Amino acid sequence: MKMRFCFVSLLLAASAGASEAPDRLEEVQVTAGRVEQTTSDVAPGVSVVDTGDLDRQAPLVVTDLLRGIPGAFVQQTTPGQGIPIVRGLKGSEVLHLVDGMRLNNALFRNAPNQYLALVDSKILQRLEVVRGPSPSLYGADAMGGVVQLVSRLPELGVAPAFGGQLSFDYGSAEESALAHLSVDRSGQRSAWMVSGTYQDVGDRRAGDGTRLTDSAYTARAGRAALRLLPRDNHELLFDIQYLRQPGTPRHDELVAGFGQDEPASAVFSFEPNERLFAHARYRWSGAGQWADELELHAGFQSVRDDRRTRDTGSNSLRRERNESELAGFSLQLTKAAGLHNLAYGAEAYFDDVASSRTATDISTGSSAAVRSRFPDGSTMDSQAFYFHDQFVAGDRLTLDAGMRYSSVQVDLPAADRPIGAKVDVDDFTGNIGAILDISPALKLVTNLGRGFRAPNIFDLGTLGPRPGSRFNIANPDLQPEEVITLDAGFKFAGRRFIGEALVWRADYRDKITSVLTGDIDESGRDIVQSQNAGSVDLWGVEAGGRLVSADGHLEFSGVVNYTRGDENTGGLEQPADRIPPLNGRLALLYQGAGDWWTEGLLRFAAGQDRLSDRDEGDPRIDPNGTPGWVVAGISAGWRLNDGLSVSLRLDNLLDHRYREHGSGIDAPGRNLGLGFEASF
């Protein structure tokens, strides 16, 4: 709590010299209210990674951008993948969006997964994180928060012109090379862009010089977008995105982890992981009496999670083919009516899952079909209606409230197993927030929300071997889980300082968790089953801010996050799983008078020794706890002329060997990064 009060004191001190509205420091986001607003004008906590941050970083995967922002922590089981942990929740407990459409599908685990990394970081305009449940606007899965990726678009309403960009980034720690080419044509009534990205990442070198085998991968991505303005106030968008990782090894399965004498697997490769996304959007401004703006979205997403695996000591090589085909439709209307800003609409998603698995005896070459990871032909459908209102309730008070009705149907056929399952649930969820203007720059905010998540096909139908020497059996009687979250704090938006500090608490009920049955399979693995057996008490503090010098050249930023979780499962009380330690980031950025900049960066995390039984048995986590760490880096960039810029990065300057808590691989060691970008 001392941390929170120190940060609030800084806000109050800064407010003494800032009575005017903010200018260039204010960050714009669209996720918190489904309309474009600044971060200080909405009640929830919002973190934004904007174009400037994207230009200064060289992420290998999208999740690299989430390190060191308020309310988030990154876990990486193996290179080429990664997830954000938002307010202690992860995987299917957090909703991931791309341009307003769901990335979450029926195969999302409520644990670390690889799917966010299947979006090309080079096509992004910005990344937004809404912390805490957003049940009225986003519903299912938005329990810990919402992570939205916003793609760059070609420019409309301007004189026709061709342009493009060629960029290349190299990193020595992983001998990584990333090349990106985009070409676009802006115009008055039509505009388009196409792009391609190729990535080749070698085995990672850890902080003491050790080369970590089985960590290399490649990726290739493509994108094409078309914007049309057929009539004034009517806009059409057509967008296709694709990314494929042909063969990505799962490092933690291929090396002996904590408590293991040998690796769990002799072979474990995702072959391939890929995502195809097709999106159409119609936008009508000035739609009439009932809406100032109408948006209609239709999207299709195919995600493949194919695998080639063989357990250590086994002659059985298994090939899996798992695919989710998700079709989505949404209609949203927004209306400013007096003191009210309304957003309301409906959405529907339809997910079909195909899954098969074959086993080949490597000594004889004979093959046979075996039980698939998921029941083949499973479906998960959802429909929702929502209403949200941000309205002025007094001279200095703004309220933010909404409600959503959700209906979810899951059908798992028996397929190649003795039992299937059907789930049909509906629920009302809602939230209310308040913004109290203490001064023109300082605001007190608070939020209360209830989120829920219905069991998906992964929860209901995943059978077979699991990490940590476990074997999962099905439970057709799973029920939805829910979370109730309350937060309160301050937001400050002045001419030279912008920041926020919030304290929050979440009551997570009926958590779907893997429970030991007490039985052991023929291979010696513990037999587990997903059950609504857990309740978790989560709380934390998140604070961040940016201070700019009077001349605008120097910028200091800092972030501190703290999360604590306690779980009760079957009467057993213990720390919750994979709770991030105290962590944060400090940065000092100098923008030169010319076209150059330099930035010094410090990231840190305290040790984490509050471990659950599952953490202690996880080969990715040291049972004695994860040690704390501090890493420093420095970077610089120069714009040589209107069309060419170069950058230089030195990361982990002291070559410290460390591991982010819960990750399955050590972080990169000292890294020299080089980049250039040519615009034409």
pLDDT band at 463, cuts 50/70/90? Answer: low
- DSSP string spanning 553-569? SEEEEEEEEEEEEEEEE
pLDDT digits (tens, 9 = 90+) for 498-545: 999 999 999 999 988 778 888 888 778 888 887 888 899 999 999 999
pLDDT band at 253, cuts 50/70/90? Answer: very high
- pTM for this entry: 0.92
Helix (H, G, I), strand (E, B) or coil at 529: strand
Residue 3 in this model has a pLDDT that exceeds 70: no
Residue 142 in this model has a pLDDT that exceeds 60: yes
Helix (H, G, I), strand (E, B) or coil at 523: coil
| Most distant pair of Cα atoms in the chain: their distance | 80
Mean pLDDT of 106-118: 91
410 Cβ neighbours under 8 A, 6+ residues apart: 106, 378, 379, 380, 381, 421, 422, 423, 424, 454, 455, 456, 457, 460
Cβ 386 vs Cβ 137: under 8 Å: yes
Please name every residue paired with 471 in a beta bridge, in sequence order, or none if there are none.
465, 527
Domain that holds residue 510: 2-679
Residue 367 in this model has a pLDDT that exceeds 50: yes
- At residue 21, the pLDDT reads 39
pLDDT digits (tens, 9 = 90+) for 298-331: 999 999 999 999 999 999 999 999 999 999 999 9
Mean pLDDT of 332-351: 96
Residue 164, classified by CB atoms within 10 Å of its CB into exposed (0-12), middle (13-18) or buried (19+), is middle
CATH number for the domain that contains residue 664: 2.40.170.20
- At residue 244, the pLDDT reads 98
pLDDT digits (tens, 9 = 90+) for 568-587: 987 889 999 999 999 999 99
- At residue 12, the pLDDT reads 40
- At residue 571, the pLDDT reads 84
Q: Which residue type sits at 476?
A: P
Half-sphere exposure of 17 (CA within 13 A, CB side): 10
Residue 468 in this model has a pLDDT that exceeds 50: yes
- At residue 55, the pLDDT reads 85
What is the distance between the alpha carbons of residues 638 and 629, in angstroms, rounded to a whole number? Answer: 31
Q: What percent of the chain is modeled with pLDDT above 90?
A: 79
What is the distance between the alpha carbons of residues 2 and 186, in angstroms, rounded to a whole number? Answer: 52
Burial 108-147 (b: 16+ CB within 10 A, else e): bbbbbbbbbbbbbbbbbebbbbbbbbbbbbbbbbbbbbbb
What is the distance between the alpha carbons of residues 312 and 363, in angstroms, rounded to a whole number? Answer: 15
Residue 166 in this model has a pLDDT that exceeds 90: yes
pLDDT digits (tens, 9 = 90+) for 267-298: 999 999 999 999 999 999 988 888 999 999 99
- At residue 467, the pLDDT reads 66
Element holding 14 (H helix, E strand): helix 2-15
Mean pLDDT of 128-149: 90
Higher confidence at residue 91 or residue 472? 91
- At residue 16, the pLDDT reads 39
- At residue 609, the pLDDT reads 97
Residue 23 in this model has a pLDDT that exceeds 70: no
Q: Could you tell me the sign of the dihedral formed by the alpha carbons of 118, 115, 526, 626, in that order?
A: positive
Cβ 39 vs Cβ 48: under 8 Å: yes
pLDDT digits (tens, 9 = 90+) for 613-640: 989 999 999 999 999 999 999 999 999 9
What is the distance between the alpha carbons of residues 72 and 94, in angstroms, rounded to a whole number? Answer: 11
> CA of 513: how far to CAs of 112, 320, 524, 563, 617, in Å?
14, 24, 21, 20, 15
Mean pLDDT in the chain? Answer: 92
pLDDT band at 8, cuts 50/70/90? Answer: very low
Q: What percent of the chain is modeled with pLDDT above 70?
A: 95
pLDDT band at 1, cuts 50/70/90? Answer: very low
- The tally of domains found in the chain comes to 1
What is the distance between the alpha carbons of residues 90 and 563, in angstroms, rounded to a whole number? Answer: 13
Helix (H, G, I), strand (E, B) or coil at 145: strand
What is the distance between the alpha carbons of residues 412 and 37, in angstroms, rounded to a whole number? Answer: 41
